[in-house]
Amino acid sequence: MRARWPRLRSFRLRIALGSTLTALAAILLLYAMASYTIIHRRAAIIDHMLSAHLAGPGFQATPQALWPATDAQLNASFGGFAPPDSAPLAHALLLVEDAGHGPQYRSPAWQRVFGDASLPRGPGLHTVEGGGQSWRIGSAVHGSVTIWVAVNRSLSDAQVRASLLRFAVAIGVLAMAMGALAWYLAGRAMRPVEHLTGVMVRLTASELDQRVSAAEEDLEFAQMVSVFNAMLDRLQRSFLQAARFSGDAAHELRTPLTILQGELERSFAQAGTAAAADPVLEQGLANMLDEVRRLDSIVRKLLLARADAGQLAIPLCPVDLRPTLEELAEDIGLLDDGRQVRLTLPEHIAVRGDAELLCQVLQNLVSNAIKYGLPGGWIALSARRKGEQWRIDVGNASHGIAPEHRHRLFDRFYRADQAHQRRVPGVGLGLSLARDIAMAHGGSLALAEAEPGQVRFRLSLPAA
Ligand SMILES: Nc1ncnc2c1ncn2[C@@H]1O[C@H](COP(=O)(O)OP(=O)(O)OP(=O)(O)O)[C@@H](O)[C@H]1O
Ligand SMILES: [Mg+2]
C-alpha cells in the first residue's frame, strides 16, 4: 500500500528531516524518563525527610519557648525544594497541641492555610489541600503533645516545573542546531550528484567529450561517475557515427546526382530540339529533372548539416551582418509581387563566426518569409542589441502557424502545412539547419511571440 502522506520531493530535505527527527525522538524519550524519575524521586525525598523530622528525638524535649525556632529550622530545611524567590516561611508549617487539644504553638500562616479543618491523625503521611496549595502532612505524639508538620508540595512542584521548562527550551534550541547541521551535512553529501547534474545540464551534442573526474569523488559516488562516463562514451560514439553517416552518405550521393542532373538536362535539351519532338517524353524528362534537383537540394543541405553540434569547427572571424541583410532586402524588393520590405538596422551588426554559414541562416529565414508570407504583404528585417547579444528578427505577414506545429518546426524534414508540401517547394530542412548553425555559433534561433497576422523568427548571436 502506498504511503498516505505526501512524499517529500527533496532527498536532501528527507535526509535532514529524518536524522533530526530520529535524534529528537531519542532526546525526548530521555527527557520524559528523566522528568518522571526526578518528580517521583523528589516526592520520595520530601516524604523521607518529613518522616525523619517527626520521628526524630528533637521534638520530644522541646521547651515551649523554642517552638518558633524549630518552625524556622523546618522552613530552612524544606526551603531547598522551593524556588529561590518564594516567601521564606511558606515552605513548612508547624502545629503543636497539648493533651487537651489546646494549641501550644502554631505557625503564623497555619490558620490562614488550614483554618479549623480537622487534621488527619495516625501514622503515615497525607496529602491535604489548603490555601490553594497542596501540602504533605504528618503527625507524631511525643508524651502529652501532638505535633503536625506540613510541607508545601506546590512550591516543590513549581521548582521542578521551572527546571524542566528550561530543559525543554534547551532541547528546542538543540533541535534547531541539529536540523541546521543535518541540512548542511546532507547538502555536502549531495554535492557529487549536483556536480553530475551540472555536467549533464551543460552537455549538448557539441560537448559530448566532457567527462566527470571520478578520482575526486567519494568512494560511494565514484562508481556512478564511471558508469556515467561510460554512457557518455557510448553516446558520443553513436552520435559521431550517425552524423558521419549522414554526412558521408550525402557526400557519396553528390557525384552521381550531379552526373544524373547533367545527363537529364542534356537529354531534355535534345528532346526539345529533335526533329520529331515528343511532348510526352519532354514532360517526363522535365519531371525527372525537377525531382533530381530536389534530391540535390536535400543532399546539399545534409552536407551543411554537418555544421550541427560542432561537427564543423567554425572559424570565428569578425562579420558584419548589415550588408548581408541589406542585400537580402534588395532581393525581396526585386520580387514582382508588391511585397513591401521594412528594414530597421543599426550602423553595424558585428558578430564573430563564419560569414557564409550565417548568410545561409538569414537566407533560409528570408526565403521562408517569401515562401510562406502572404503575397502582397510585408517582410520585416530588424536588428537590435540587447546586452551582449544581437537579436535579428525576420518577420512576415502571415495567417500564423498553428500551435500544434510550433514545437516541431525545427525538426528535420518537418513541414508545417500539408498543403504547403505540395504547393510550396521545400524539404523541411531549412530551419533545422539554421538553428544548428546558430547554436554552433553560441547563439539560438526560435519562433518569437508575435501579434496575430504575423510570424517572426528571432536569431540571437553573441555580439563581437
Ligand atoms: N515565415 C514562415 N511563415 C509561416 N510558416 C513558416 C515560416 N517559416 C517556416 N514555416 C513553416 O515551417 C516549416 C519548416 O520550415 P523549413 O525552412 O525548415 O522547411 P521548408 O521551408 O519547408 O523547406 P526548405 O528545406 O527548403 O527550407 C515550413 O514548411 C513552414 O510550414
Ligand atoms: Mg525553408
Q: Which residues contact 139 (CB under 8 A, 6 or more apart)?
A: 54, 119, 120, 121, 122, 146, 147, 148, 149
Per-residue DSSP letter, 60: G
Structural domain count of the chain = 3
428 plus 451 within the same structural domain: yes
pLDDT at position 309: 46
Nearest ligand to the C-alpha atom of residue 406: 1
Q: Among 5-9, 197-201, 446-450, which is the least confidently predicted range?
A: 5-9
167 plus 233 within the same structural domain: no
The verdict on the CB of residue 416 being under 6 Å from ligand 1 is yes
Confidence band for 422, pLDDT divided at 50, 70 and 90: low
In this structure, the residue with its CA closest to atom 30 of ligand 1 is 416
CA of 371 to the centre of ligand 1 (A): 8
326 plus 301 within the same structural domain: no
The Cβ of residue 237 has, within 10 Å, a number of other Cβ atoms equal to 11
Summarize pLDDT for 388-415 with one digit per residue, the tens. Answer: 999 999 999 998 898 889 889 998 888 8
287 plus 244 within the same structural domain: yes
256 plus 323 within the same structural domain: no
Residue 185 lies in a domain: no
CA of 21 to the centre of ligand 1 (A): 59
Residue 5 lies in a domain: no
Residue 272 in grid coordinates: 526539345
Summarize pLDDT for 48-100 with one digit per residue, the tens. Answer: 999 999 988 777 777 888 999 999 999 999 998 988 888 777 899 999 988 88
The verdict on the CB of residue 428 being under 6 Å from ligand 1 is yes
Mean pLDDT value across residues 424-451: 88
Q: Which of 431, 432, 447, 457 to mutate to test the pocket of ligand 1 (most atoms within 8 A of CB)?
A: 431
Q: In this structure, what CATH number is given to the domain that contains residue 304?
A: 1.10.287
Exposed e or buried b per residue across 153-170, where buried means at least 16 C-beta atoms within 10 angstroms of its C-beta? bbbbbbbbeeeeeeeeee
203 plus 300 within the same structural domain: yes
Mean pLDDT value across residues 355-364: 89
Nearest Cα to Cα of residue 353 among 324, 387, 384 = 324
Cα angle value 56/58/61 (rounded, 5°): 130
The closest-lying atom of ligand 1 relative to the alpha carbon of residue 432 is 18
211 plus 246 within the same structural domain: yes
pLDDT at position 183: 95
Residue 39: which domain range? 11-178
pLDDT at position 199: 76
In this structure, the residue with its CA closest to atom 6 of ligand 1 is 372
Mean pLDDT value across residues 1-28: 84
133 plus 223 within the same structural domain: no
Strand order across the 378-386 sheet: 340-344, 378-386, 389-397, 454-462, 444-448
Q: Which of 372, 394, 404, 411 to mutate to test the pocket of ligand 1 (most atoms within 8 A of CB)?
A: 372
